[in-house]
Each structure stands twice: as C-alpha cells, then as structure tokens.
Structure 1
Amino acid sequence: MQRKKIISKTVIILCCIMLAAFFIFPILLLFINSFKSLKEIYMSVLQLPETMNLDNYVSAFKELDYLNAIKNSLIVTCTVTAANVICCSMAAWVLVRYKTKTSRLIFTIFSVAVLVPFQCVMLPLLAEMGKLNMINMPGLMLVNLGFGSSMSIILFHGFMKNVPVELEEAAAIDGASQPRIFFTIVLPLIKGIAVTVAILNVMSLWNDYLLPSLTINRSGTQTLPLRTYLFFGAYTKKWNLGSAALVMAIIPVIIFYVLCQKHIIKGVTEGAVKG
C-alpha cells in the first residue's frame, strides 16, 4: 500500500514537472533569443547566444518609447482594475443581500454574459463608440470595465454569501450608513477574493491587444502590446528587437503575479469553499 502511494506521488510530481516545463519553455526561448542578433536567430532559435549582448534591449527601449508605453498601460490597467473591484464588489453585495426575482434575473444576465466573446459584439460596439465620440482612452477603459464586470461579479457573488449579515445589521443599528457598512465591514472581509479579482484583471488588461488596437492605436497613446507589434511588419520582422521588447513587456506583470501569487490561491480556494 505504501509503495503504491510512493509511485502515485512520484508520477504526479513528474507530471507537474513536465507541465511546468511545457509552459516555461516558450518564455525561456524568448529570453534566450532576446540576446541574439537577427542572424543568430535565423540560424537557430534553439541555440544559445554567442555573447550576452544588451544592444537589443537598448534599441528596443528606444523604439518602443518604453516609458510612455508603460505609462499608458499602467493608466488603463490600474484605473480599470480599481473601478472593477469597487463596482463589482458593491454590485455583488447588493445582489446577495436583496434576494428578489429582479436580483436573480440580473445575476443570470451577468452569468450568461460571460459566455459572449468580444468578437461577437466588436463591430456594433465600435460603431456605437464612434457615435458617442468614445474612440479614445476613457472609452477603452469604460468598455474594459463593462466586459470585465461579469466574471468579477460572479466571483464576488460566491464569496459574499458567507459574509455574516449580523455584522452589517449591528452596524446599521449603530447608525452606520450603507456606504460605511460596505467599506468598513464588508470590503475588509472579502479582501482575499478582491485581490484575486484584481490580479486576474491586471493580467488580462496588461496583455490585451485587440480592443486597444481598435480604440487607441495612435502614437503617444499606445500601450505596450501595441508598441511591441511595431517590430513585426508585413514584410520585415525584427525578431531580435521584438524578443527583447516582449521580455520587457512581460517582466512587470510577472513580478506583480509572483508578489501576489499567494493571494490568488487563497482567494480562489476560499471562494470555492464558501460558494
């Protein structure tokens, strides 16, 4: 019996190592090629670079207009994420506390909306945005907030069910207003899932290319994914500079994810148990 457990555990560990290698290999390959010249990349993408040359990073930094591009990405990502966490947690709180046919219908609509891909509504949405003069950064942030709300509300809704309503009732008896009850009692109790929702939104918004390419694809307002695409033209592709640019683009979100990884696991597991 003990031998079977050891074998089973060993197989699981080996499968996990293989799965990790499967996901890490493309990133490692990208990192290796970011130090190569264009000639070396064309000769072999798997071969190690002859010298660890940082010229690609210097050139990519200048051509990317990196500081301006990362500023635009941070504005969009941070603004939408903060608005998403606050608005969706409040919406989920109301839907959980006020159990009516209308609240159930609204939650059902949000649940169904998750299944609708952006590509299905892309053209009519852009047409309406054009009529409202919203083909700009505020319009991009508003649309991202709308598309990210469904999944966020579902996550908050499952977690919110086990926030003790007695605490809210006691605060209401003491004269606390509804906003004060939410921000001083409810929001601290759902910190785990709030951090999880924030991280998922950050990773999605930071890497988004399609919607920004349709709304803010102009010099000076482009985010990092848009600027990075400039290295891959129709007739020429600067794989060496593109690799360096992609590494610089993913480093901030990797650091953010590593720092908040424990909150993701905690929030998802607690949400699963409490839901």
Structure 2
Amino acid sequence: MDRKFRIGWPIFGTLLGILFLSPFYIVFTNSLKTQKGIFINVMGLPTKEYFTLKNYTQAFIELDFIRSFLNSLLITASSTLLIVVFASMAAWMLVRVKSKLSTFLFFLFAAAMLIPFQSVMLPLINIMGKIGFLNRAGIVFMYLGFGSSLSIMLYHGFIKSIPVELEEAAILDGCNLFQVFWYVIFPLLKPITVTVCILNIMWIWNDFLLPQLVINRPGWHTIPLKMFYFFGQYSKRWDLALAGLVIAMVPIIIFYFIAQKHIVKGVMQGSIK
C-alpha cells in the first residue's frame, strides 16, 4: 500500500502540475504565432512559417505598458506602505491596551473580513464620488480600508509574542510611545511585515474591480484595467491580445518567484509565534 502511494502521488502531482500549467503554455506559444498560425494549430508550438515577435512590440505600444506599469506601481506601493504603517500601529495598541473597547475593536476588524466587497461597493463609490475622491488618492485610501483587517489580524498574533518588558525598558530609558514603537517594536515585526507586504502587493496589483469602479481617466489605468480594455479592443486579434496578456503577467510572475520563500517563512513564523 505504501509503495502504491509513493508511486502514485508523484504521478498525480505531475499530471496536476501539467493541468495547471497548460493555460500558460497555450497563451505563451500562441503569442508567438501569427493570426493564421493560431487558427491552424492552437496547441502546437509555433513553426518557422508562422513564428513572429512583432506581436509583443505592437502589444507593448498599444498597451501603453510603461504608463500602466507606473500607475500600478504607484497605487500598489502607496497602499501597501500605508497598510503596513497603520495596521502595525493599530495591532500594537490593540494588544497592549487591555480594555473592553480594544477587544470590541479587534473583533470588529475580524468581522470586517467577512463582508464581501460587492455588498458595499456601490454605496462606497457613491460616497467617494460626492466628496470628489474618485481618483488615485481615493483608491489608495480605499485599499487602506479593505486591507487593514487581515493585516491587523496578522500583526496582532505576532505582537503578542513580543515581551512587554522591552517596551518598559525603553520607556525607562526616556523613549516616548512613538519611539518605543518605531525603534523597538517595529524592527521586531520584520518577518510578519514581509508577509503582509507580499500578500497586499499581490492582491492590489492584480485587483481589477475596484480600479474599474474608481479610475475614470485613460492615463490612470492600472495594468489589469488596461489589459481589460486592450483585450476587448483586440479580441478578434488573438495574436496581439495574447502577447499583451503575457506582457501583463510578467511583472507579478517575477515578483512571486522572488518573494515566494518569504511568504512561507513569514506565515510559518507568524503561526508559531
């Protein structure tokens, strides 16, 4: 029985891996073909007759990739930075201040994670529109609100493992609360901060629904939003559409491979703590 499992699981894992990777294979190989080459053989590798790299050049220009990339980078970096700063400070106070109010606020943040975005998006956009906040600053503010709950939960569990004696010693040395947090507590939060950053970066970078509702100027489009309009424009030109899709996937794939070990390490340390 054990031998069957030892032989069967690798085979099952290989087949499952092939199944999950097959869409990437189809997208990448067909992005290197002409339109005629795609229609002749979708699953095959590009032949010399139908091989081309012009798809990427044209898609890069039409996608306005540099501007879209910078928009995504600005929104993602700003939102993640604010989430890290405010969530870590809020979690620290919720852990250290023992009161019914802090307990209530903690469970309130936990309950907020259960509320689907779709149930609040229309009232939210209505309110933001009335105060003139349907812009890049507004979307960063909204990401701060939606991303804080999970981040506070992660920080809260980690901070409970930090001895309060470290803070008391810093206060005796003359530090105020601001200095205690930034010079004593925050450096100790590096493992969980890396996890919080990675999870929020991948979520915000790939998010489509909120930018579609908030961003109403072509020059502000993020990569997912620009890709949506680009793919709709070139839906009949599968060669350009697929090349644009590959270009749009490259930044997050590179980031994921760089950061994947930190995701596992941070989550494990947070759970142990």
Residue 169 of structure 1: how far off its partner (Å):
1.2
1:218 to 1:45, Cα distance in 2 relative to 1, 3 A: farther
1:148 to 1:49, Cα distance in 2 relative to 1, 3 A: same
1:89 to 1:14, Cα distance in 2 relative to 1, 3 A: farther
1:234 to 1:58, Cα distance in 2 relative to 1, 3 A: closer
1:190 to 1:221, Cα distance in 2 relative to 1, 3 A: same
Deviation per CA, 1:207-254: give whole Å up to 9, x if none: 111111111132111111111112333894332212111211121111
**In the alignment, does 2:39 pair up with 1:42?**
yes
**In the alignment, does 2:26 pair up with 1:29?**
yes
Identity of aligned residues (%): 47
Does 137-146 or 46-55 show the bigger shift?
Answer: 46-55
Distance 2:236 2:206 in 1: 21
Q: Which amino acid aligns with 2:152?
A: I
Q: Which amino acid aligns with 2:103?
A: R
Q: Which residue of 2 aligns with 1:199?
A: 198
Contact 2:192 2:270 in 1 (8 A): yes
Q: Which amino acid aligns with 1:32?
A: T
**In the alignment, does 2:106 pair up with 1:107?**
yes
Q: Which residue of 1 aligns with 2:189?
A: 190
Contact 2:235 2:241 in 1 (8 A): no
Deviation per CA, 1:18-69: give whole Å up to 9, x if none: 3333332222222112112222223333121124421111001110111111
Write out aligned runs for 1:139-218 (5 A).
139-218=138-217
Distance 2:235 2:264 in 1: 42
Write out aligned runs for 1:211-230 (5 A).
211-230=210-229
Distance 1:100 1:18 in 2: 53
1:99 to 1:45, Cα distance in 2 relative to 1, 3 A: farther
1:66 to 1:272, Cα distance in 2 relative to 1, 3 A: same
Q: Which residue of 2 aligns with 1:80?
A: 79
Distance 1:204 1:235 in 2: 26
Write out aligned runs for 1:41-80 (5 A).
41-51=38-48, 52-80=51-79
Contact 1:114 1:150 in 2 (8 A): yes
**What SS is found at the alignment partner of 2:220?**
coil
Contact 1:231 1:239 in 2 (8 A): no
Does 151-160 or 68-77 show the bigger shift?
Answer: 151-160
Deviation per CA, 1:110-155: give whole Å up to 9, x if none: 1111111111111111100111101111111111111111111111
RMSD of the TM alignment (CA)?
Answer: 1.8
> Mind listing any 5+ residue stretches in structure 1 that lack a counterpart?
none
Distance 1:185 1:171 in 2: 8
Given the two structures, how large is their TM-score scaled by the length of structure 2? 0.93
Given the two structures, how large is their TM-score scaled by the length of structure 1? 0.92
Q: Which residue of 1 aligns with 2:266?
A: 267
Distance 1:124 1:164 in 2: 43
Distance 2:107 2:237 in 1: 47
Distance 2:43 2:174 in 1: 67
